Amino acid sequence: MTRADEPRAERPAAAPTGGDRPIGAHGALHRMGLAQADATDPADRPARRPGAERAEFWARTLRGWDVAFYVMVAIACASFLFDGHDPAETTVSFAAMALLATAYTAIGRRAALRGDARLAHTYLAVLVVVVVLVVRLEPMGTLLLFIAYSQIWFFCQRRTTAAAIALVLAVGASVAMGLRGWADRAQWVEIAGQMGIGLMFSVLLGLWITQIAEQSEERAGLIERLEAAQAELAATNHAAGVLAERERLAQEIHDTLAQGFTSVVMLAQAAGAELDRGAVDATRGRVEQIEDVARENLAEARALVAAFGPAGLQQQGLRDALTRLAERFAAETGVQVDVDLGQDAPLSRDTEVVLLRGAQEALANVRKHADARRVRLRLGVDDGSVELEVHDDGRGMPPEMSRGVGLRGMHERVRAGGGTLDVGAAPGGGTRVLVRMPAAGVDGGGGAPAGGAGGAGVGGAAVGGGAVGDAAIGDAAVEGAGVGGEGAGDTGARSASAAAPAGRPGGAS
C-alpha cells in the first residue's frame, strides 16, 4: 500500500499521557503519511501528537512485522505436519492458523493502517483465542507465543491494556498446556513457572522498547520545537533586517537627496528674484550653483544605490568634506560659517559618516529654523573621543524640531555608532548641536575652544558672509521647499562655489 492509499479521515483522538501513555502502533502508516504531508516549514507544522514518533517507527517496520508473522505461521504449520499427532486435531490446528492469518490480513493490518482501536482489539481477541487453542492441540503451538506477545505490544495503545492482554494470554496458554496432557501438580507448577518467565520477559521487553520509543519521541519533539524556534527567529531577523534597511534608506535619502533638492529650489527662487531685478550676472551665478548642486545630488544618488557611503567622503577626508559643506552653505544662504577643525586625527569610515551626516542635518536645521546670521562649526578630539559642534546665533530650537525625521535619524545614527548627541539652547542664544563619538587610536588633545574661530586655513576659517540676493530666499522660501519633518538642508560634501554675492537682506552679517 502506498501513502496515497492511506485513509486520512479517521484520525483518532490524542491519546492520554502520564503512566497510561499510548505505546502502540495502529494507525502508523496513516499518521506517518500525515506527518510527511505536513513536513513543510517547521514553524507551519502542527504540533506533534502524543505517540506520533512511535507510530512512525512502527509504520517504517510494518513490512518486517508482516514477514515475521507469516514466517512464524508457516513454521508452526510445518511443525504440525511432522509431529505425528492426531490428524483431526492437526486439521483443527490448520483451520485455526488459517483463521489467524485471515484475521491479521483483513483486520490487523487495517487496524494498523487506519489507527482503529476497535479493530485492533478485535484482532487481538482472535489472536489470543487461536493461540490458546493451538497450544492446547499442538505441542509446537507455543511457537506462536513469540509473535503473539510482540503483536500485543504492537497493537495496544496503552501499557495497561497490553500488560492485561499479555497476562490473559499467558494464563490461557498455561491452562491449555496443562489440559493437553492432564498434568499433575508438579507439571502444573513447571508450566506456570515457564509461562510466568515468558510473561515477565514479554512485559519487561515491551516496557523497555516503549521507554526507548518515548524517549525518541521526546527528543523528536524537542528537535521540532527547536526547528520551529529557529524558523521563527530567522523570520524575525529577516523582518528586522528589512525594517532596518528601510529606515537606513529613508535616513540617507533625507540627509542627501531631499536636502539637495531643497537647495536647488531655494537657489532657483533666488535666481528668479535676481532676474526680476535685472541682475544677470548674479542670476548666472545662481544657475551655476544649481548645476553644481544637481550634479552632486546625482553623485549622492549613485553612491546611495551602490551603497558606497557619502559621495563627499569617497575622494576626500572628513575635514575637506566639512570645509566644502560650510562653503556651500554660506554661498547658498549668506550666513557666515566659522570653521574650526582643530587637529587632525585618524577616524574610522563609519565615524566620519556619522559626523558628516550630523553636520549636514545641523546646518539644514539652521537653514530652516534658526534665522541665524552666523554659525560656528567645530571639529575636535579630546580624551579618545571626537566632537562635532554646530552652534548658531539664531532664535533657538522650536519645539517641533525635536520631533522631526532628521533629528530623530541623527539620534539613531549617533547611538548606533556608540556616541552621544546633545541638542539644546546655546549660551548666549541660539542652538547648539554636539555630537560626541569614540575615536579609536586618538591620543588626546583638543580642538579649538568653543568660542571664536580658529586659525587660518583648514584649522579655522570664516566662510561666507555674503548675501543670497533677495528676501525671497529667506525663511518663507525655505519653508515652501521643506521636505519631511525636518525640512531640507545641505547635502554632504558636495562641490560648490565658495563665492557668495554681497549684501544679505534682513541684516545678515
CATH assignment of the domain containing 443: 3.30.565.10
According to the model, what pLDDT value does residue 449 have?
Answer: 34
**Confidence (pLDDT) at 82:** 76
Is position 199 within any domain? no
**Quick one: pLDDT at residue 505?**
34
The confidence score (pLDDT) of residue 153 equals 80
Asked whether residue 71 falls in the same domain as residue 141, the answer is yes
Q: How far apart are CA 366 and CA 68, in angstroms?
A: 89
pLDDT in tens, the chain (509 residues): 433 344 444 444 444 444 444 444 434 334 434 344 444 444 444 444 444 555 555 566 677 778 888 888 888 888 887 766 678 888 888 899 899 999 998 888 888 777 778 888 899 999 999 988 888 888 777 888 888 888 888 788 787 888 888 888 888 887 877 776 655 666 667 667 777 777 777 777 777 877 776 787 788 889 989 999 999 999 999 888 888 878 777 777 877 777 778 778 888 888 888 888 888 888 888 888 888 888 887 877 777 766 655 655 666 788 888 998 888 888 888 899 999 988 777 888 888 888 988 888 888 888 888 888 899 999 988 877 899 999 998 887 766 665 666 778 788 888 888 899 998 887 778 899 999 998 764 444 433 333 333 333 333 444 444 433 333 333 333 333 333 333 333 333 333 333 333 333 333 33
Q: What is the pLDDT of residue 485?
A: 36
Is residue 197 assigned to a domain? no
Same domain, 249 and 151: no
Among 156, 182, 208, where does a domain finish? 182
Together in a domain, 300 and 159: no
pLDDT of residue 378: 92
How many Å apart are CA 133 and CA 147, to the nearest integer? 15
What pLDDT is recorded for position 86? Answer: 76
Q: Quick one: cell of 483?
A: 521636505
Instruction: Specify whether 174 is located in the same domain as 286.
Output: no
| DSSP β-ladder status, 374-382 and 336-340 | parallel
Q: Which helix (H) or strand (E) element contains residue 382?
A: strand 374-382
Q: Do 167 and 254 lie in a common domain? A: no
> Are residues 285 and 172 both part of a single domain?
no
pLDDT of 84: 63
Q: Let me know if residue 235 belongs to a domain.
A: no
Confidence (pTM): 0.41
Residues 153 and 256 in one domain: no
Structural domain containing residue 135: 3-10+19-182
What is the DSSP secondary-structure string of 188-222?
HHHHHHHHHHHHHHHHHHHHHHHHHHHHHHHHHHH
Boundary-marking domain end, from 182, 208, 224: 182
When divided into structural domains, the chain yields a total of 2
Task: Identify whether residues 129 and 250 lie together within a single domain.
Answer: no
Q: Please check whether residue 508 lies inside any domain of the structure.
A: no
Which residue in 25, 506, 497, 17 sits closest to 263, CA to CA?
497
Q: Are 401 and 369 in contact (CB under 8 A)?
A: yes
Q: Is residue 496 part of a domain?
A: no
Q: For residue 57, give the C-alpha cell.
A: 517507527
> What pLDDT score does 183 carry?
57
In a domain, 119, yes or no: yes
Answer whether 482's CB lies under 8 Å from 258's CB. no
Could you tell me whether strands 431-438 and 460-463 are parallel, antiparallel, or unpaired per DSSP bridges?
A: unpaired
- Of 182, 215, 233, which closes a domain? 182
pLDDT in the model for residue 59: 61
